[in-house]
Amino acid sequence: MKFNEFRHSNAIRFRIRDGRYFIAKVECIPGIEKGIFAVINSEDDLTVIAKEGSMIRFLSRQGYYRIITFDLELPFGLSGFLSHVSSLLAKDEVPIFVLSSFSTDHILVREELLEKAVDVLRGDRMLPSGAPGNSK
């Protein structure tokens, strides 16, 4: 299913997760603690996304980010959703770090660009005015 078809029959909402997050390159997978949002194990490196204050030993780190989570279940056959989101934000020079989970997608935005990112997404009517989850 293409995103435009999906969009017409589904309310696209997002929420901003509480807290500040960092993205770190680590040597080994840390114990899973409450502050860890994601662990990505690729051939070349091991990446952890964790909440500020998490006690992670890292080789290098980038921060701080805020996480925007899309509050809807995205079907596996959906095409174009992330392309649409990333294109909107790229036009306004908002870089993102993208993660997908089993049910939905998440984007990490540098903390200082959060308000701009939210304004861009709202401008595309991705979050209806007055909808829950628009807190920072």
Q: What is the pLDDT of residue 127?
A: 55
Bridge partners, 25 (sequence order)? 47, 60
pLDDT tens per residue across all 136 residues of the chain? 899 889 888 888 999 999 999 999 999 988 888 899 999 999 899 999 999 999 899 999 999 999 999 998 999 999 999 999 999 999 999 999 999 999 999 999 999 999 999 999 999 866 554 444 444 4
Q: What angle do CA 27, 66, 6 make, to 5 degrees?
A: 105
The model's pTM: 0.87
The Cα 74–Cα 100 span in angstroms is 10
End-to-end CA distance of the chain: 32
Domains detected in the chain: 3-123 (3.30.2130.10)
